[in-house]
Structure 1
């Protein structure tokens, strides 16, 4: 099933893990503190069992995760003040799932599927640019948020950035 989705949606490997494809980039540009950016972007993003979205942050832009298909996904968020949230992205609101989750600009985020696979959409405003994308080192995250060391290390991207 996952291979078919990757093929039919023309998904490619993402640096944080999983697969993605940009599906929309607004032609309208806005001025930000980091330069001119598209007003908004959207992607498909897919994770399968055993994969995860490594800890990352998008500087200067909010990201909205939208559930599309598959099993629920745990989205882990560590805010600047150290507050941890782990909402479950999914369709069954009677079980506490949320069909969409907002990640404010600059918040550390990681994700893991809770079943065979999860297909989501992510919209970013102002639009996503890899220049605004950070994959922090585990040591730096743990030094800033030691209370969450185990979770931070579990989803840290291996290797040099």
Structure 2
């Protein structure tokens, strides 16, 4: 197993190849939707964001009306999660019994806003069938991507290119990914204790996103995927059953 660390070269040496894959901002013990700071709640309202099953908030900004044949299987990526985890509202909007969803076709593309906040700072490990192009709009966060042959990639999404932070990146379909919020940088370039604005990302999915093509990594599946040692390090990024 050879996890790959893409931390900036100035990061201090550490025997753990992914020394910074640990919570940077702890969520408040009770942070229900609507209990965010007023300036973040204003952004949530302005963009019409709603809580996402992955953690954080999301809204669909654009869905291409053009339909294209689906390149994916006709069954959901996770039948149990599709049946139990998607709300009626999500099914109506993204495909489902009442939405007239046809698994044989997809919209040509979709664009979504995705926001992590101090009250909801983690996007848990999941994968989509199709590739996702990410564009950072504000804030900072760390992404973890599990590739084939148990290569674990970690990098910072941010606007400081001199530090090696990424503003645009692609996660291919079928790869599990997670993200968590990082503190803002102060004037000296040091990390503070919190994120004032949260992290806002635009996600473009081709063909278009459907919850039908979405799958969380089950707790029991993490150890099988990466082995016991790495499962212990990354276990906090797995969504627990509610």
Fold shared per TM-score above 0.5 = yes
In structure 2, runs of 5+ residues without a counterpart are 1-38, 74-103, 184-194
The alignment's TM-score, normalised by the length of structure 2, stands at 0.62
The CA distance in 2 between the partners of 1:151 and 1:100, in whole Å, is 26
Give the match for residue 45 of structure 1. 114
Give the match for residue 134 of structure 1. 215
1:66/1:89 contact within 8 Å kept: no
Q: Give the alignment of 1:3-152 within 5 angstroms.
A: 3-31=41-69, 32-34=71-73, 35-49=104-118, 51-59=121-129, 61-69=130-138, 71-115=139-183, 116=195, 117-146=198-227, 147-152=229-234
Q: Looking at secondary structure, tell me which structure has more strand per residue.
A: 1
1:138/1:152 contact within 8 Å kept: no
| Deviations, residues 27-86 of structure 1 (Å, cap 9, x unaligned) | 122212333111111111100125200100001x101111001x2111110013211111
The CA distance in 1 between the partners of 2:219 and 2:234, in whole Å, is 7
Distance 1:140 1:96, change over 3 A: same
Whichever of the two has the greater Rg, that structure is: 2
In structure 1, runs of 5+ residues without a counterpart are none
> How many pairs were matched up?
158
Give the match for residue 236 of structure 2. 154
Report runs of 4+ in structure 1 exceeding 3 Å deviation.
none
**Bigger mean CA offset, 137-146 vs 97-106:** 137-146
